Amino acid sequence: MIAFENVTKTYGSNQVAVNSINLEIQKGEFFVIIGPSGCGKTTLLKMINRLIHLTEGTIRINGKRISDYNIHELRWNIGYVLQQIALFPHMTIEENIAVVPEMKKWSTTAIQQRVHELLEMVGLEPDKYSERKPKELSGGEQQRVGVIRALAADPEIILMDEPFSALDPISRTKLQDDLLELQRAIQKTIVFVSHDMQEALKLGDRICVMKDGEIVQIGTPQDIIQNPVNDFVQKFIGLKDDPFSVFTIQQVIQPFAKEEHQNYVNYSVAVEDSLQSILQQLAQLECVVVKNGTEIIGVITRQSVLQFLASERGEGND
């Protein structure tokens, strides 16, 4: 879907922002780029839609070099969400969302239908919010509008540059949950920049850890937690030497809900099993049922483990 081939970005004669990057982002993947300030993650993101021009190498979308696309065609097919929400203050919410569809000459009826559909998807009642101005919305509501504005013309790719970092913790958590639910429904290719490992572990199908303009490690959240490639990644995650020692089954077990977990009853673990063996099963499955003898006492999901590890990291860094 998106391929970087030996991509380098330099400023001046000796300032290297991104150094010889090779990676491929799959169609429909939620791909998170993370690393400390100045590591090149935002530069990498902005090169995809040519907001920043690469110095060397090639970026391809669907096999075609981005330099071969008409710039308007390229950007119309890539939604973009910033930390600074940047809604037009003089426009209504409906008008803000409709900007790109209008540029693409959609009909008025199609635009209005799309606006209402998107508002409903993020829990904002169209009759209540369509005619409001941005200043009449909370920060979290404005950011929801920012997200769906990026989706308005149904682009294949969504770029998100630390979109939730300016929000309070409650709003941020809610928007992360909403984005995960939205992605399950729309299955877009999302490239998401963050400096927060808790957020990356929660959202990403795969995580790309960067340092000094280079890729240090790419892997699933489980890969990153269980097999950090070096001390930098291990410290950035915030885990101790043994990641299996930071939680117990009791801390990650959840109630068994028959309607939700019935398909997993054949994939069970005993309450006395080692955490390592349970994590090995979760590498293949979304969920395992926990039994005490023959009695089902709950389930452990990938999400419950990752959220616990992420929250532990956050508390440890306060």
How confident is the model at residue 164, as a pLDDT? Answer: 87
Q: In the numeric block, which tokens belong to residue 170?
A: 């409650």
Question: Which stretches of the chain drop beneath a pLDDT of 50?
Answer: 316-318
Place of tokens 């909370």: 138
The structure's pTM equals: 0.76
Dihedral pair phi/psi, residue 139, rounded to 5°: -60, -45
Q: Where in the chain is the domain with CATH 3.90.1280?
A: 243-316
How confident is the model at residue 239, as a pLDDT? Answer: 58
Q: Where in the chain is the domain with CATH 3.40.50.300?
A: 2-237
How confident is the model at residue 197, as a pLDDT? Answer: 84
The pLDDT tens digits of the residues spanning 243-293 come to: 555 566 777 888 888 878 888 888 888 877 767 677 777 877 888 898 888
The pLDDT tens digits of the residues spanning 8-35 come to: 999 987 899 999 999 999 999 999 999 9
Q: Cα 186 vs. chain centroid, distance in angstroms?
A: 13
CATH class given for the domain over 2-237:
alpha beta
* Distance from C-alpha of 190 to C-alpha of 184, rounded to nearest angstrom: 12
179 neighbors 191 (Cβ within 8 angstroms): no
How confident is the model at residue 78, as a pLDDT? Answer: 95
* Distance from C-alpha of 158 to C-alpha of 30, rounded to nearest angstrom: 10
Nearest Cα neighbor of 150 from 114, 107, 108 is: 114
On whether the 243-316 domain is CATH 3.40.50, my answer is: no
How confident is the model at residue 243, as a pLDDT? Answer: 52
249 neighbors 54 (Cβ within 8 angstroms): no
How confident is the model at residue 244, as a pLDDT? Answer: 53
How confident is the model at residue 246, as a pLDDT? Answer: 52
How confident is the model at residue 135, as a pLDDT? Answer: 93
How confident is the model at residue 218, as a pLDDT? Answer: 97
